[in-house]
Each structure stands twice: as structure tokens, then as C-alpha cells.
Amino acid sequence: MADYNETELKLRFLNSCDWERIFASPILTEQADPLSFRVETLEAQYYDTPSHQLQKGGLAFRIRREGGVWLATIKDSGGSIAGLQQRAEWSVPISEPKADIAVFMDTPVGPRLAETVGEETLIALFRTRFDRQILELHARDGSIVELAADRGEISFGDEQLPILEIGLELKSGHVGVLLQLGADLAKEFPLLPEWRSKYFRGLQLAGLVDGDEAAPPASLSFDDTEVTGTVLARILISCIQQILVAHQQFK
């Protein structure tokens, strides 16, 4: 069972050929652990109740096969600023791809999940299928980042949306490393911040949420309880977001 908070910077490719080209960039090769590189094909099914109680409760239920093992995963909605996503996640190995909240009852999210779903059953919503290239990066300050480049599609009935994105997940260290790495890559490749998770885009495809293609730059407000490091990180996120958007508009 995995229980952790995920911090990830997600960027969207504008050119499909960059999905492969980006791994040859000196920005990555200088920090990469070459033995960590691998390619996976991932297929997942997302679920909710008929009345969409999980969506209303800020939770996503996914079943995906990883490394020959079926995993049921619950993610909360968390938050996203300029493509930097922070959210809690719980994963449990299961013997077959059957959606059942009972497998989470011994996890911290169990009571919340049971209250949210109530007596309803879970039904299939939409699917994702994509190829993922993975590489581990070691920054000079000791921070470790996992880079995952995804290419595939989200499917709902006969409708599809493309997946063409890169995720930089902080495994250990400082969030500033993610921001700097994202900014450096955006100087070499046409990339835009991706505010929307695959789950949210699937909801859009299914007609369950509204949302514009691009969100406006985040407005920042601060209060006296925030520590200096948090304030600086939020300022950096906002600045990088606006730089990336401006770069693509005037390139």
C-alpha cells in the first residue's frame, strides 16, 4: 500500500516529435541516471458512482496495470498552480481489475471514501492508454526528479482526446528544482503548463465538467501565516507560468 503526497510539474508538448527528442537534450543528459530509463504502456479505467459522488467529493478512483500488477488508486483533487500539482494519493494492489472501495478501508482515505460513496456502486467512466518514457534525474543539490513523458489518448465511447505531456515529479529535495528544470526545458522546446490532470480532461471529454483550454495566470495573495519558502515558491511558479505563456504567444 502506498500513501504519499505527490508534487509534480506538468507541461504539455506542442510538437509530437518532441516526445522522443527531449530525452537527447543536454538539460536532461547531464543529470540523468541512464540505467533508470524505461518505457511502459499504461492502460487505466476511471470509475465513479452513477450520481458522480466521487467527483463531487474531490476524489478520483483509478485501476491501472503497472509492472504486471493491478493497482487501485485514489487521488484527491489537491491543487494546481501553473502546472505544479500537489495532491495526496493512495494505491493498493488488487488481484483483478474490479472497482471496490473495500480495498481502501484500512487506508487513511477509507472513512472519507465510504462516506462519499455511501450505498452506491461504482461504474466505469472513461479510459486512458498511453506510452510512458521514464528517466530519473539527479540535480546538483541532491534533489531527485522522475521525468515521465506520456503519449496516447483518453477515450470516452467513440470520442478521444490526445495525451502528449511531460511530468516532472519531485521524489526528494526542493520544489525549486522542478520549476527551474521546467523553465530550462521550455527554452529549448515548445511547452506550455498543463493545469489539467488526465482525470479532469477525461471528465471534460465525458461532458461532466466545463473548462477552458488554457487557464489564465494565477493571481497570488498571501497571508501572515505563510513561511518565506512557501511565498517564494508561489512567486516562482507564477513567474514561470507567465514566462512560458508569453514565450509561446510571441515566439
Domain span at residue 213 reads: 2-250
Instruction: Check if the beta carbon of residue 146 is closer than 8 Å to that of residue 125.
Output: no
As for how many domains the chain has, the answer is: 1
Nearest CA-CA partner of 191 in 124, 152, 248, 243: 248
The three-point CA angle 146-218-82 to 5° equals: 15
* Tally: H helices and E strands in the chain: 7, 10
Contact call for residues 133 and 23 (beta carbons, < 8 A) = yes
CATH number at residue 147: 2.40.320.10
The string of pLDDT tens digits covering residues 12-36 is 999 999 999 999 999 999 999 999 9
Unique residue bearing C-alpha cell 482525470: 199
> Which pLDDT value is given to residue 244?
52
Cα–Cα distance, 147 to 32 (Å, whole number) = 10
Which band of pLDDT confidence, cut at 50, 70 and 90, is reported for residue 242? Answer: low
Q: What is the pTM of this model?
A: 0.81
Q: How far apart are the first and last CA of the chain?
A: 46
Dihedral, CA of residue 218, residue 224, residue 227 and residue 228, to nearest 10: 70
Q: Which of the two residues, 243 and 208, has the higher pLDDT score?
A: 208
For 214, the grid coordinates are 488554457
Position with higher pLDDT, 86 vs 208: 208
DSSP 8-state assignment for residue 225: T
